[in-house]
Protein backbone atom coordinates (compact mmCIF):
# COMPACT_ATOMS: atom_id res chain seq x y z
CA UNK A 1 0.00 0.00 0.00
CA UNK A 2 1.30 3.46 -0.96
CA UNK A 3 1.88 6.11 1.67
CA UNK A 4 -0.93 8.60 2.16
CA UNK A 5 -1.64 11.52 4.45
CA UNK A 6 -4.84 11.31 6.46
CA UNK A 7 -6.08 14.78 7.40
CA UNK A 8 -6.89 15.47 11.03
CA UNK A 9 -9.64 17.87 9.93
CA UNK A 10 -10.93 16.43 6.63
CA UNK A 11 -12.26 18.76 3.95
CA UNK A 12 -15.86 17.88 3.29
CA UNK A 13 -16.95 18.26 -0.33
CA UNK A 14 -20.67 18.17 -0.96
CA UNK A 15 -21.91 15.41 -3.23
CA UNK A 16 -21.99 16.50 -6.84
CA UNK A 17 -25.31 15.60 -8.36
CA UNK A 18 -26.23 16.43 -11.93
CA UNK A 19 -29.85 17.44 -11.56
CA UNK A 20 -30.69 20.49 -13.67
CA UNK A 21 -30.27 21.58 -17.29
CA UNK A 22 -30.61 24.91 -19.09
CA UNK A 23 -30.87 25.58 -22.82
CA UNK A 24 -27.74 27.28 -24.19
CA UNK A 25 -28.07 26.73 -27.94
CA UNK A 26 -30.73 25.94 -30.52
CA UNK A 27 -29.96 25.36 -34.19
CA UNK A 28 -32.78 24.81 -36.68
CA UNK A 29 -32.38 23.90 -40.35
CA UNK A 30 -35.43 22.69 -42.27
CA UNK A 31 -33.42 21.86 -45.44
CA UNK A 32 -30.37 19.96 -44.11
CA UNK A 33 -30.17 16.23 -44.81
CA UNK A 34 -28.21 14.12 -42.31
CA UNK A 35 -27.00 10.52 -42.32
CA UNK A 36 -29.51 9.84 -39.54
CA UNK A 37 -32.44 10.67 -41.85
CA UNK A 38 -32.83 10.78 -45.64
CA UNK A 39 -35.53 13.45 -45.19
CA UNK A 40 -34.51 17.10 -44.78
CA UNK A 41 -34.67 18.66 -41.33
CA UNK A 42 -32.32 19.08 -38.40
CA UNK A 43 -32.80 20.62 -34.97
CA UNK A 44 -29.87 20.55 -32.55
CA UNK A 45 -30.45 21.48 -28.92
CA UNK A 46 -27.53 22.02 -26.55
CA UNK A 47 -28.01 22.16 -22.80
CA UNK A 48 -25.64 22.80 -19.89
CA UNK A 49 -26.09 20.99 -16.57
CA UNK A 50 -25.60 22.41 -13.09
CA UNK A 51 -22.05 20.99 -13.00
CA UNK A 52 -21.02 22.74 -16.24
CA UNK A 53 -21.25 19.68 -18.50
CA UNK A 54 -22.87 19.87 -21.92
CA UNK A 55 -25.61 17.67 -23.35
CA UNK A 56 -26.67 17.71 -26.99
CA UNK A 57 -29.78 16.18 -28.52
CA UNK A 58 -30.94 16.35 -32.11
CA UNK A 59 -34.16 15.78 -33.98
CA UNK A 60 -33.86 14.87 -37.65
CA UNK A 61 -36.11 14.51 -40.68
CA UNK A 62 -39.85 14.96 -40.33
CA UNK A 63 -39.64 15.19 -36.52
CA UNK A 64 -37.28 18.18 -36.86
CA UNK A 65 -39.34 19.91 -39.55
CA UNK A 66 -42.56 19.45 -37.58
CA UNK A 67 -40.92 20.84 -34.43
CA UNK A 68 -39.46 23.80 -36.35
CA UNK A 69 -42.95 24.59 -37.69
CA UNK A 70 -44.37 24.32 -34.17
CA UNK A 71 -41.69 26.64 -32.74
CA UNK A 72 -42.13 29.09 -35.63
CA UNK A 73 -45.84 29.57 -34.92
CA UNK A 74 -45.82 29.28 -31.11
CA UNK A 75 -47.06 32.06 -28.84
CA UNK A 76 -44.23 32.83 -26.41
CA UNK A 77 -46.18 35.30 -24.29
CA UNK A 78 -47.46 32.59 -21.97
CA UNK A 79 -44.67 29.99 -22.24
CA UNK A 80 -41.03 30.68 -23.14
CA UNK A 81 -39.05 29.04 -25.93
CA UNK A 82 -36.70 27.44 -23.40
CA UNK A 83 -39.59 26.00 -21.38
CA UNK A 84 -41.12 24.52 -24.54
CA UNK A 85 -37.78 22.93 -25.49
CA UNK A 86 -37.22 21.47 -22.02
CA UNK A 87 -40.79 20.13 -21.88
CA UNK A 88 -40.32 18.50 -25.31
CA UNK A 89 -37.12 16.77 -24.17
CA UNK A 90 -38.86 15.58 -21.01
CA UNK A 91 -42.05 14.42 -22.77
CA UNK A 92 -39.99 12.54 -25.37
CA UNK A 93 -38.17 10.68 -22.57
CA UNK A 94 -34.79 12.21 -23.48
CA UNK A 95 -34.38 13.83 -20.03
CA UNK A 96 -37.36 12.90 -17.86
CA UNK A 97 -38.17 15.54 -15.27
CA UNK A 98 -40.21 18.64 -14.59
CA UNK A 99 -39.55 22.17 -15.80
CA UNK A 100 -39.30 24.77 -13.03
CA UNK A 101 -38.34 28.43 -12.72
CA UNK A 102 -39.01 31.59 -14.68
CA UNK A 103 -37.38 32.94 -17.83
CA UNK A 104 -34.28 35.11 -17.44
CA UNK A 105 -35.01 38.80 -18.00
CA UNK A 106 -33.82 40.24 -21.32
CA UNK A 107 -30.23 41.47 -21.37
CA UNK A 108 -31.37 44.68 -23.07
CA UNK A 109 -34.69 46.48 -22.94
CA UNK A 110 -36.13 47.02 -26.40
CA UNK A 111 -38.19 50.13 -27.06
CA UNK A 112 -41.68 49.77 -28.41
CA UNK A 113 -42.62 51.72 -31.56
CA UNK A 114 -44.75 54.07 -29.45
CA UNK A 115 -41.81 54.87 -27.15
CA UNK A 116 -39.46 55.59 -30.05
CA UNK A 117 -42.08 57.82 -31.74
CA UNK A 118 -42.50 59.79 -28.51
CA UNK A 119 -38.73 60.20 -28.25
CA UNK A 120 -38.56 61.36 -31.89
CA UNK A 121 -41.33 63.88 -31.28
CA UNK A 122 -39.48 65.28 -28.25
CA UNK A 123 -36.39 65.77 -30.42
CA UNK A 124 -38.38 67.54 -33.15
CA UNK A 125 -38.21 64.62 -35.61
CA UNK A 126 -41.20 63.18 -37.40
CA UNK A 127 -41.75 59.74 -38.90
Domain range list for the chain:
21-91
- The 10 Å Cβ neighbour count of residue 80 is 17
Residues 6+ apart with CB under 8 A from 102: none
- Inter-residue contact 40 to 32 (CB < 8 Å): yes
| Alpha helices (H) in 18-92, listed in sequence order | 61-73, 81-91
Confidence (pTM): 0.71
Q: Do residues 84 and 74 make contact, with C-beta atoms less than 8 angstroms apart?
A: yes
Taking CA atoms, 86 is separated from 31, 96, 108, 126, in Å, by: 24, 10, 24, 45
Q: Please tell me the number of Cα atoms within 13 Å of 82 on its side-chain side.
A: 15
Mean pLDDT for each 10-residue chunk of the chain (127 residues)?
63 78 93 87 93 93 94 90 92 90 78 60 57
pLDDT at 105: 78
Amino acid sequence: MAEELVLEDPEEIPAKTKNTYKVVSLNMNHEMVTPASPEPGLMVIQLVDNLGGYFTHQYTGKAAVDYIKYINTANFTTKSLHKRILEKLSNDGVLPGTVQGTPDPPAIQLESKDESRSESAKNGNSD
